[in-house]
Structure 1
């Protein structure tokens, strides 16, 4: 009888010790979706999308997760109003027809306790293609201001913009490859 009680107690403790996925909400003032593209091999054009939102589910014990980040295409910001307008138009993003882009990642890889990469799908201009974001930094910490856990990092990938029908400037010598950078911090709910 004592043996059975011991096994039941041990199984109960094992169940309590297993972590469940935690849900985190993207914190927009510490989250940025940016891009970089070479400009005739002399400098780098950069831009970001100012409006973004999303969630992250993370199970550190099982080393699994899911992330969904969407960004408002019309919020593209290069610091140059005329360039923003051009990017919003049909030569690039067609923001009036396709107002939102979204990355959904559901395969997380870990290096120890830290996320090292997220594989998923990027939907842009109503086209979806696989993208793997590599972590250049990842950490979780207890926020002294929020009194909650915050997890996040810097993730990047080089994507071929023509997969989403963005081919403006190729004939002029602009490259098809664009560096996509997602800097994210998310607050545990």
Structure 2
């Protein structure tokens, strides 16, 4: 009887020390989509930017972490064409906005993941744009082979102040919203 209790106790100790191994799911950058919308007093512009790479880390079936690199040089407006698209793309890539020559990559590193509902997580991470890192929190919905989120980013936290009514007076209808929207659809 004493041996049976010892074996049972040893089994409990061994089972309690086993942890669920992490599974990394690499994001398929070619099939994932990042859409952006930037608003101004007189309207808005929208476009895309490409992921370079990314991964989500799961423990069992629960999201536990993630990292992403965005190719800022791929930033393009999709609501314009020809000369006007070229001018806007050039301005967005300039130092006035994202400075893609000096800062070709933006990064997101998950720092904390909390389950909100089944397959929906509240993620807090460090977002780096133009060499500036700030915390950001958003909800991410996952399935077996996809993840999606919509979030707002305050560009002024990343030293992108061009046309911001928060920093410049008398902009009138030339003012540009401090926040831009991202809609992200990931496939892995």
Give the alignment's TM-score, normalised by structure 2. 0.80
1:30 maps to which residue? 31
CA distance in 2, matches of 1:28, 1:176: 28
1:174 maps to which residue? 176
2:149·2:185 contact (CA, 8 Å) conserved in 1?
yes
Greater Rg by CA: 2
- 2:104 paired with 1:110: no
CA distance in 1, matches of 2:40, 2:142: 30
1:55 maps to which residue? 55
Q: How does 1:13-92 map to 2 (within 5 A)?
A: 13-15=15-17, 18-40=19-41, 42=43, 44-60=44-60, 65-79=64-78, 80-92=85-97
CA distance in 2, matches of 1:6, 1:87: 65
CA distance in 1, matches of 2:28, 2:100: 24
Unpaired stretches in structure 2, ≥5 consecutive residues: 79-84, 165-170
CA distance in 2, matches of 1:53, 1:3: 51
1:154·1:182 contact (CA, 8 Å) conserved in 2?
yes
Q: Per the alignment, do residues 65 and 6 of structure 1 end up closer, same or farther by CA in structure 2, a change over 3 Å counting?
A: same
Give secondary structure in 2 for the equivalent of 1:166.
Answer: coil
- 2:162 paired with 1:139: no
CA distance in 1, matches of 2:35, 2:56: 19
CA distance in 2, matches of 1:14, 1:91: 55
- RMSD (Å), alpha carbons: 2.2
Q: Per the alignment, do residues 41 and 132 of structure 1 end up closer, same or farther by CA in structure 2, a change over 3 Å counting?
A: farther
Give the alignment's TM-score, normalised by structure 1. 0.79
Unpaired stretches in structure 1, ≥5 consecutive residues: 141-149
Q: Per the alignment, do residues 134 and 41 of structure 1 end up closer, same or farther by CA in structure 2, a change over 3 Å counting?
A: farther
Aligned length: 172
